[in-house]
Structure 1
Amino acid sequence: MSLPIDNQAFSDLLYALYGSATSSEANSKHFLTHLRQMLNLQHATMIVRQPTATDPGLIYTSGDDADIAIMDTEAGGYASLYAQDPLVNLAIGEVVTLEEQTPRAQLIKSDYYQLFLKPYNIDYVAGIDWLYEKNSRISIRFTREESQGNFTSEELDFFRLIIPHLEQSVALGIQLRQLDSERQIYADSISKRSIGIITLDKNGNILQFNNTADQYLTDSDGLHQTQNQIKVGNNALNEKLNKYIQEALEAIKTKQRAAINALAVPRDSGKADYQIMIKPISVENHNESDVTPYLTVLIQDPERNLEISVRTLMNLYQLTMSEATIAILLAEGHTTDEVADELDIKKNTVRAHLRSMFVKMGVTQQSMLVSLVLTSLASTQ
């Protein structure tokens, strides 16, 4: 008997599966619900992180919120019974049924059946396990009530058919979320240093920019955005900027080594010049598209202070709260007299703290102390 699944239904299922991997919401519920409806299942459940005695794990199940009860993480729920599940640590990449693992007569007498299967009218279970990066086991389980009947050979073959897609989609989802986490870490670190980042395409048009760059462009203080391109208020410097951008783009297109150029851009407000760097990005022809970034433009405002963590600075160099605060004020460009006024303490007190800080931080000059603070991990928090 063939399954009542046409090409469109199979396409919709795969769309839901890969959609769960690429969606901003890390949730496989839509795919699992789609699969449950297609194959007349009671439940379809994916175990991304295996439950343990101290960890309820990460488990997705099909359907609406009412179905989540089957994956209850409270005492006496699925997590506490997981160790008794006969479908644990299955042969990798194979479809296994409960009947193959445990004879029916033996199963009915088990605590697992009495406490977990019977209360939820579960009579038939099939499952698949696979590995992500050789050490992380991912599992999917399918259940049916007695009235829905046991799994047919055609249905088990269908489960085997989707195994490669399960493996690939879950791996893709994990990798994308890892990349997103790494990107957020880098973005936060750059943000703390008030560096604007703009990416340009092969024509020098703006593709993306971070919040800091957006602020710089919106301020229009010697730098702005016109027709999706970066423009400088000074005509001569604008030509120079365009020249640097075009030279870098041409070098990338001809596979030549592109120079990293920089320039200072005066500001209408009279504040310190923006510092701009044009940095090429390595581009592979076979990966190129209309939205492939070719250049990164970095923008630094020298007048913006770093967000330096007092607590981290204290931990790194065993400084007191007062010492760390003084160190940060000095790193922001204040003189010792200004620090004394800011903290409402005597100048001699500031000098006494400085002597203590020199010893703790292993430096002999104030300039060395400032450099150490600015390059420490405290400035990336």
Structure 2
Amino acid sequence: MKYTIDIEEFSRLIKALYQGILESVPWSGFLDRLQSKLDANYVTIVISPPTDDHDGLFLTTGSTGKDFVASYNSHFYAMDPFVDLPSAKVVSLDEFISGNERINSEYCRQFLEPMDVFHVLGVDISTENGAKYSLRISRGYQGENFNAGDKELVELLVPHLQEAIELHTQLGRIETERNLYAGAVNQLAVGTIILDEEAKVLQSNQVAGDLLKAKDGIELIGGSLQVGSSRDTRRLKELIRDVLAAQNDNQPSVVEALRVQRPSGKSDLGIVVRSVPPSQWSKAKHTPSVVLFVGDPDQHSQAPRDIVKTLFDLTPAEAQLAMILANGLTLDETAEELGISRNTARAHLRSIFSKTGVTRQTMLVRLILKSVATLG
């Protein structure tokens, strides 16, 4: 006799499983719902087993705490008979070791018994990239053993769990790439502000966030950007409308630019406005539509001295001088900041010219700023 489950109840389980991909703690809602459905005391997902240089990641219901994870990783994982299961096959602990044997085992007495775990149902899922996800559902000593119906329910979930894991892995890769590129833009000291189709701010990077907080030539009021004077703001809105109009008409990407004077008297901000290439399948509201790149001449990109030193075979003193010159100071100003004489600074500069093959200070600045040093 096949196991049956109410279609609405099963749909809620599946919905929680796929929504769990986007949760800050993945699948927490799904694990809670499955725990309730199977009358379990714990439902746990372990992402990859612990190794010498990496702990398995535990996502679990209940209040196991860090001590539980640490003790399992450091000691009890090696004693656990319920590991390395056949991929995507649901099995119970009884199929590996009988109840009487468990009661007398050291693993049960030292680890399972204090957690009130006796009956366990589980499945391992291996991914193409070598990761392993282990789902474990447990009941205590006073609980009933898992029956065929419980097992069949988990079997119904396995294909969906495999798909959700694959989606979670893909989104993780995308998030990693996004963070990498965002970090590179931050290193270059370029502010980025992403707007939706109504010109409302969706996201900004750290550089742009700092500029917005300073409220010196650009700020956020009621979700809308205000720049410079009222005339500047009107001009910015016109540029954004032009970019959006071109995007809506499927025209090639439009790029506009604006220079904004700051009340503080600091160097003017430079703003480039361009459309965000839309996804072919995404026509929803509040999607990234326009990006603003904001340049602040007074905010210098920081190239680590050791990176500059290695890339151009410079001494520490030469690397420090080259970095300060790249940030716009004259040779005299650089000498003063470093506390060295002008002659010493000139000697360093001549050595730098010899090592880099450039002959003018402007060429040196261009070389450093266009190198990968600023991404270090």
- SS of residue in 2 equivalent to 1:287: coil
Verify the 8 A CA contact 2:276 2:288 in the aligned structure 1: yes
Q: Pick which of 8-17 and 160-169 moved more.
A: 8-17
3-state SS of 2:137 partner = strand
Give the partner amino acid of 1:348.
N
SS of aligned partner of 1:125? strand
Deviation of residue 307 (structure 1)? 2.4
Amino acid at match of 1:61: T
* Residue identity in the other structure for 1:313: V
TM-score, length-normalised on structure 2?
0.83
The 5 A counterparts of 1:92-171 are: 92-101=87-96, 116=111, 122-171=117-166
Structure 1 residues 62-115: Cα deviation after superposition (integer angstroms, max 9, x where no partner) = 31136x66x4434xx455443454433322222122333456787778765676
How far residue 7 of structure 1 moved from its aligned partner, in angstroms, is: 6.3
> In 2, are the aligned partners of 1:78 and 1:116 still within 8 Å (CA)?
no
Match of 1:23 in 2: 23
Q: How do 1:1-381 and structure 2 match up within 5 A?
A: 10=10, 13-14=13-14, 16-18=16-18, 20-24=20-24, 26=25, 28=27, 31-65=30-64, 71-74=68-71, 77=72, 79-101=74-96, 116=111, 122-217=117-212, 221-223=216-218, 228-233=223-228, 240-284=235-279, 286-381=281-376
* SS of aligned partner of 1:82: helix
Counterpart Cα distance in 1 of 2:184 and 2:367: 17
Task: Compute the RMSD of aligned alpha carbons.
Answer: 3.5
Over the matched positions of the two proteins, sequence identity in percent amounts to 33
Distance 2:113 2:197 in 1: 63
Amino acid across the alignment from 1:148: G
Q: 1:84 to 1:53 in 2, by over 3 A?
A: farther
| 8 Å contact kept, 1:57–1:79 | no
Distance 1:292 1:33, change over 3 A: closer
TM-superposed deviation, 1:350: 1.2
257 and 30 in structure 1: CA distance in 2 versus 1, 3 angstrom threshold? closer
Distance 1:294 1:118, change over 3 A: closer
Cα 1:32/1:221, change in 2 over 3 Å: closer
Distance 1:236 1:312, change over 3 A: same
Q: What's the offset of the Cα at 1:206? A: 3.6
Q: 1:72 to 1:281 in 2, by over 3 A?
A: closer
- Give structure 2 stretches of 5+ with no counterpart: none
Query: Residues 341, 112 of structure 1: CA spacing in aligned structure 2 closer, same or farther, 3 A cutoff?
Result: same
Greater shift in the superposed pair: 354-363 or 228-237: 228-237
CA distance in 1, matches of 2:102, 2:149: 25
Residues 233 and 104 of structure 1: CA distance in aligned 2, closer, same or farther (over 3 Å): closer
Q: TM-score, normalised by structure 1?
A: 0.82
Aligned length: 376
Secondary structure, aligned partner of 2:142? helix
Give the aligned residue type for 1:73: A
Tell me the SS of whatever aligns to 2:281: helix
Distance change >3 Å, CA 312–CA 117, structure 1 → 2: same
- Tell me which amino acid in the other structure corresponds to 2:247: I
Tell me, in whole angstroms, the C-alpha distance in 1 between the residues paired with 2:199 and 2:14: 37
Q: CA deviation at 1:314?
A: 2.8
Residue 233 of structure 1: how far off its partner (Å):
4.5
Q: Deviations over 1:161-218 (max 9, x none)?
A: 2223323444444444444444333333323333222222224344333444345456
Alpha-carbon shift at residue 292 of structure 1 (Å)? 1.0
Would the alpha carbon gap of residues 205 and 78 (structure 1) be closer, same or farther in structure 2, given more than 3 Å must change?
Answer: closer
C-alpha contact (below 8 Å) 2:41/2:62 kept by paired residues: no
CA shift, 1:158, in A, is 0.7
1:344 deviation in Å? 1.5
**8 Å contact 1:199–1:295 — kept in the other structure?**
yes
Deviations 1:214-265 (A, max 9, x none): 4545655555556654455467765654443233212211212133222323
Change (3 A) 1:181 1:53: closer
2: CA distance between counterparts of 1:169 and 1:331? Answer: 48
Structure 1 residues 7 and 199: CA distance shift in structure 2, 3 A: same
Deviations, residues 247-289 of structure 1 (Å, cap 9, x unaligned): 3212211212133222323344444332111111111353122
Distance 1:211 1:78, change over 3 A: closer
- Structure 1 residue matching 2:85: 3-state secondary structure: coil
Alpha-carbon separation, structure 1, partners of 2:363 and 2:304 = 19
Question: Per the alignment, in what secondary structure is the counterpart of residue 148 of structure 1?
Answer: coil
Contact 1:207 1:293 in 2 (8 A): yes
